[in-house]
Structure 1
Amino acid sequence: MTPELLAIHNFIRECLPFDQLPNAVLEKVVSNIEISYHSKGSQFGQQNLADGLRIVRSGAAELRDKNDLLLDRLAEGDSFNLMGLNADQPGIKASLIEDALIYTLPEIPYQQLRTEYRAFDRFFSSQRSRRLRRAARHEPVPNDMMRPLSDLMSSEPLTVEPTTSIQQTAIMMSERRFSSILVMVDDRLMGIVTDRDIRSRAVAKGLELQQSVMSIMTSEPLTLPPSCSIFDATLFMMQRSIHHIPIVEDEKVVGMITASDLMLARKDDPVFLVQHIGRQSSTFELKNIVSAMPDLLVQWVNAGIRSHQLSHVLTALSDAITIRLIELAIDQIGPSPVPFCWLGFGSQGRKEQLLGADQDNALLISDEVQPEHQHWFSQLAEYVCDGLNECGYVYCPGDIMATNDKWRQPLNTWLKTVDRWMRTPTDRAVMEVSIFFDIRTIYGDNELTKQLQAHMLKHTKSNSIFLAALAQNVLSVQPPMGIFRRFVVEQNGEHAHELNLKKRGVIPIIDIVRIHALANGLFEVNTIDRLRALVDCKAMTIVDSRNMQDALQVLMQLRLTHQAQDIIKGQSPSNYVNPASLSKIVAKQLKDAFGIVKDAQQGIKFKYRQGLG
């Protein structure tokens, strides 16, 4: 190549979707490129439909529809094809808002590429949101523990009719070497019988072996869907001390999974760490386990666990540590005088926790509590919060912890507190209630949490003033993007020239999704679950929901990748990234994600801000 063509080649190969083309094909593309310079204000419209694909080498452009509505802004590396755009929506034109150098790939070679390369064609068949979706999902193969149960389950479980005798059932299990058998009527699951049931419910009790197997079966057994991950299934079985789970889809049994099956998964995976946590006898021992988590994070990121799965894993570990500390506290101070539940807020409540999270917790106590019981709960809170701090989950800077009397209350007091927040949505109340709405039972009586959550949702759904106050909070932090799709970075301080991915990207998405969920009375707390539920209740389109999911995935994946790099360098993991260090492809994905957040914030502004009058 000549130096001129080599410069074009080096630029084009960093642009989406040319990065997916073989090098030989890319060289041919470069030989067809036409170069032109255009001044600010130049337009491309109906007269240019057959010109081909334009790639912005430098400068900036806008795409507008026939009503002059802004559709998108394009910067260096972005491309557009007017014929394709106008095929779906006639009247679209492009205007340069800066002097620009444009590379043009003529229509014929452009269409040939689309015909020959499916991925290339799919990129241009989609708009910005769908391109982002593809980028968000272009990730390594997931860790084995994140595979679905369908990859591991036995698809032909052993079955028996309810009238079969205990003896005949045992014979069938012995002959086939099965440790469990399903009791079925046609396609309907009635129950399950295991080796242990035969030992403890029949032989040990001297039952007549000709009795029906129904006399020893477990009726209406717990089930899981085949899409459930191996990790979640192992955790589910461990927490309930069961060893056999029927796999059910669309109310039909499609397989069986056993504890032995799950042991085939790698033993160095997170679920075994959760089990190990549950066996520790002191805070010191728990701290030793947590100290290894940064190295494990690097291992899990390198193994290809996706960001939402990894945050789920880290939350499960945090839950396990909290539960074990509560159990150790009860061993010391005795059993609870009345029912209670330990609440997790924020990222722990949403199951979206990463390393370095501080504490956000509370105690929700039954209204049966008496004044003399308060000391027991104070002792519990102090033991657990101190233990969490020792394990690296530092005290909450805002003192939102169970050690604070304000966050350790009976149900009735919590209900009154919520009512006060709703009536007077001060800045402090909005901040506290935003955390409080991301609520989950970590330990104890979940019925108390359900009552509290139902009360909150009942009031938020129809409270336009409170929703407007939440909207104002949602709009207080804007994505770090300038008018020409340039990153707006910190200007000084420790993180000069860097972006805060959490504060400027992840948290706005969480806040946006939360306000929609509250306005529609949804009980879901996890952000992805909320987005799916919003689609189910027709409060959000499938496209908008997927856009938000993919924007969150891109931001979280980049955040985790850079945290892993920080750990490798011996630094504390942070939420900052220097955009100058990103490849052009990753930078474009990040810009697209921030663009979706910005568009979603505009929707919040129009939908909820009018409540303030």
Structure 2
Amino acid sequence: MRVSYHRQGEQFHADSDSDSALRIVRSGAIDLRDANNKLLDRLGEGESFHIGRLNTAGEDKVTATVIEDCLLYLLPDADYRALRDADRRFDRHFHGQRDRRLRRAARYEPEPHLMTQPVSAVMCRDLLTVAADATVRDAAVVMSERRVSSAFVMAGGELCGIVTDRDLRARVLAPALSPDTPVRTVMTADPLWIDADASLFEATLAMTRHGCHHLPVKHDGGLVGVVTTSDLMLARQDDPVYLVQHISRQETVAGMVEVLRGVPNLMVQWVGAGIRARQVSRVLTAISDAVVVRLLQLAEEELGPPPVPYCWLGFGSQGRQEQLLGADQDNGLVIDDAMAPEHAPWFEQLATFVCDGLDACGYPYCKGEVMASNPQWRQPLERWRETVRSWTRTPTPDAVMRVSIFFDLRAIHGEAALCRQLQQTMLEQSSRNTIFLAALAANALDRPPPLGIFRRFVVDRDGQHRDSLDLKKRGVLPITDIVRLHALARGVGAVNTDERLQALADSGELALVDARNLTDALHCLQRLRLQNHVDQQLRGEPLSNFLNPRQLPKMAREQLRDAFAIIHDAQGAVRLRFRQGLG
């Protein structure tokens, strides 16, 4: 190796570089820019570049510019190539540039896992079908003969329903219907189904969310099999379906608290088994959804049936299905406009019961009181619509803060149509309001990523979290703010951040490369955040989002820098589009 000194302003071009080599920055800083002078990366101490390898055939020419006087280590190209040929680890380390390195990290899965198998690998293919006009006696007879717990109801060669043992008990025997009753009157019509290529995780999530035990499997539109809870290994204690079913059977809040006590250790097992962060967050969200639903059911048993229809809303990370452990409550109630003044005490008691129960179950009260127990977040539909209109007409800082929580909403339980109508108003009011979008943009720019000059991490200098940075507030939330802003501007109805990014890329609102980079940055941050939670759990420490980057392996530190750099670029694009001329 040789050491060379280079002054600010000096450049390296592939065409003019007479000494082709790998260069490692000992001190100083280097900018990498493409033929359009777009900044691709900024390299600091310990980082490297090979100008010849950056300029492959058919790609834009990359130029390296010294922006602070540098000392560089130079490894001649012949030695560099020999090392890559001789050592796989060396070759993998230097393969690809920032975006590919980050994408590889975000999509890496440590080992194959049961839940990643396709549904087709475990589904039952020997299906029992009956005609829609068959009697329930006919269906029961053939189900007994075949020793199966379900039959698929067909009409014109198409699946139109499913009848199960449970249906025969609850819908025929219990109400004492005649055995000659047609199957179509007791079946579950238009049942939920899943594609044969979907993973067992997706099947588990669907069955968990909808509380079903039999899931038809289709391929190219035709019925090809069924997957049941038995197929998903219900006997395993760490199976989320098993856990959610136990939550749904509890008769008291204390019983739910006991069931949930083991969730942190299950999270450690799921991460250790190689389940990805975004899948773990969906499972944890499904568990919190199940807690809410059971609490609402217990409340209704105590209070009686609701006087008018309502919908319990989940906001924030629960609304986006991106919850991790330690998340506080963000919820609300939207009530049918038929609500009368005398109905208010019933809904107040319902909301208080559920919010108190959630706190007991490990979902703390929201410090900002964004909860259905607060009358401000418990309103009839039309009053909610007027609230949304007032927020968009006058986007005060307080209104913008509330929008950042409220506009990530999802129906958890009850009359989902109320949620859909409210979301439609939200999209109509926001997509065409440039002043409101500019205010949201200012909020999205309020948390710059913690990268200082020359890509050094900016950490807390004192206090409880000295030498650490907050992965949620400085990483995850800026991404969700940016993506929400673009989604509202485009009128995208999706709420989950991955789904929003896909819709934005499909519509052309975001360039495909920008959508992918934000997706990978989010997955990388969530993976580091989740692993940090696992490490804290194993050490017996309270869970927090603070991480000391010096404790990460070098590759993980570089991936974290890359994720923050992508956020910086995305915030720059937001500033140009939504804040230009507004300061």
Q: What SS does structure 1 have at the residue aligned with 2:194?
A: coil
- Which has the larger displacement, 453-462 or 77-86? 77-86
- Which has the larger displacement, 345-354 or 169-178? 169-178
Q: Which residue of 1 aligns with 2:484?
A: 514
The answer as to whether partners of 2:208 and 2:241 remain within 8 angstroms in 1 is no
Cα distance change of structure 1 residues 81 and 176 upon mapping to structure 2, 3 Å threshold: farther
The answer as to whether partners of 1:191 and 1:218 remain within 8 angstroms in 2 is yes
Report Cα offsets for 1:425-460 as digits up to 9, x if no partner. Answer: 000000001111010111111000000000110111
Q: Which residue of 2 aligns with 1:300?
A: 270
The answer as to whether partners of 2:208 and 2:244 remain within 8 angstroms in 1 is no
Confirm whether residue 337 of structure 1 aligns to residue 307 of structure 2: yes
Cα distance change of structure 1 residues 172 and 321 upon mapping to structure 2, 3 Å threshold: closer
Among candidates 3, 6, 12, match of residue 44 of structure 1: 12
Q: Which residue of 1 aligns with 2:560?
A: 590
- Which has the larger displacement, 497-506 or 321-330? 321-330
For residues 266-345 of structure 1, the aligned pairs below 5 Å read 266-345=236-315
2:44 counterpart letter in structure 1: A
- Which has the larger displacement, 450-459 or 126-135? 126-135
For residues 206-285 of structure 1, the aligned pairs below 5 Å read 206-207=179-180, 220-234=190-204, 236-237=206-207, 242-263=212-233, 266-285=236-255
Among candidates 300, 319, 323, match of residue 349 of structure 1: 319
The answer as to whether partners of 2:137 and 2:179 remain within 8 angstroms in 1 is no
Q: Which residue of 1 aligns with 2:577?
A: 607
Distance 2:573 2:392 in 1: 23
Q: Which residue of 2 aligns with 1:63?
A: 32
Report Cα offsets for 1:497-516 as digits up to 9, x if no partner. Answer: 11111111010001011001
Q: Which residue of 2 aligns with 1:35?
A: 2
Q: What SS does structure 2 have at the residue aligned with 1:487?
A: coil
What is the TM-score when the length of structure 1 is the normalising length? 0.85
Q: Which residue of 2 aligns with 1:79?
A: 48
Q: Which residue of 2 aligns with 1:361?
A: 331
Distance 2:289 2:185 in 1: 38
1:81 counterpart letter in structure 2: H
The answer as to whether partners of 1:338 and 1:368 remain within 8 angstroms in 2 is yes
Distance 2:119 2:365 in 1: 38
Distance 1:163 1:448 in 2: 35
Q: Which residue of 2 aligns with 1:11?
A: none
Report Cα offsets for 1:82-117 as digits up to 9, x if no partner. Answer: 223333445432122334443444334555677899
Among candidates 62, 65, 74, match of residue 95 of structure 1: 65
Distance 2:211 2:566 in 1: 44
Distance 1:204 1:150 in 2: 37
1:375 counterpart letter in structure 2: P
- Which has the larger displacement, 119-128 or 161-170? 161-170
The answer as to whether partners of 2:355 and 2:372 remain within 8 angstroms in 1 is yes
Distance 2:294 2:132 in 1: 41
Q: Which residue of 2 aligns with 1:392?
A: 362
The answer as to whether partners of 1:298 and 1:564 remain within 8 angstroms in 2 is yes
Cα distance change of structure 1 residues 48 and 154 upon mapping to structure 2, 3 Å threshold: farther
- Which has the larger displacement, 465-474 or 567-576? 567-576
2:433 counterpart letter in structure 1: N
1:40 counterpart letter in structure 2: R
Shift, 1:177, TM fit: 5.6
Among candidates 468, 481, 485, match of residue 455 of structure 2: 485
Identity rate, percent: 52
Distance 1:452 1:128 in 2: 41
Shift, 1:236, TM fit: 3.7
The answer as to whether partners of 2:236 and 2:242 remain within 8 angstroms in 1 is no
What is the TM-score when the length of structure 2 is the normalising length? 0.89
Cα distance change of structure 1 residues 370 and 76 upon mapping to structure 2, 3 Å threshold: same
Distance 2:89 2:136 in 1: 58
- Which has the larger displacement, 286-295 or 492-501? 286-295
Cα distance change of structure 1 residues 49 and 530 upon mapping to structure 2, 3 Å threshold: farther
Shift, 1:140, TM fit: 1.9
Q: What SS does structure 1 have at the residue aligned with 2:580?
A: helix
Cα distance change of structure 1 residues 557 and 191 upon mapping to structure 2, 3 Å threshold: same
Shift, 1:319, TM fit: 1.2
Q: Which residue of 2 aligns with 1:557?
A: 527
- Which has the larger displacement, 340-349 or 121-130? 121-130
Distance 1:69 1:463 in 2: 31
Among candidates 539, 555, 558, match of residue 569 of structure 1: 539
Q: Which runs of 5+ in 1 are unaligned?
A: 1-33
The answer as to whether partners of 1:145 and 1:265 remain within 8 angstroms in 2 is no
1:35 counterpart letter in structure 2: R
Cα distance change of structure 1 residues 258 and 293 upon mapping to structure 2, 3 Å threshold: closer
The answer as to whether partners of 2:208 and 2:286 remain within 8 angstroms in 1 is no
The answer as to whether partners of 1:130 and 1:547 remain within 8 angstroms in 2 is no
- Which has the larger displacement, 160-169 or 39-48? 160-169
Cα distance change of structure 1 residues 101 and 531 upon mapping to structure 2, 3 Å threshold: same
- Which has the larger displacement, 177-186 or 75-84? 177-186
Q: What SS does structure 2 have at the residue aligned with 1:48?
A: coil
- Which has the larger displacement, 581-590 or 222-231? 222-231
For residues 123-162 of structure 1, the aligned pairs below 5 Å read 126-141=96-111, 143-145=113-115, 147-155=117-125, 157=127
C-alpha RMSD over aligned residues: 3.3
Cα distance change of structure 1 residues 225 and 400 upon mapping to structure 2, 3 Å threshold: same
The answer as to whether partners of 1:464 and 1:611 remain within 8 angstroms in 2 is no
Report Cα offsets for 1:136-161 as digits up to 9, x if no partner. Answer: 12232365345442332235646678
Distance 2:303 2:150 in 1: 41
Report Cα offsets for 1:189-245 as digits up to 9, x if no partner. Answer: 45556567789879984449xx9x989876543311234443453454466564432
Distance 2:111 2:125 in 1: 24
Q: Which residue of 2 aligns with 1:18?
A: none
Report Cα offsets for 1:294-330 as digits up to 9, x if no partner. Answer: 2222222222221111111111111111111111111
Among candidates 5, 10, 23, match of residue 54 of structure 1: 23
Cα distance change of structure 1 residues 606 and 292 upon mapping to structure 2, 3 Å threshold: same
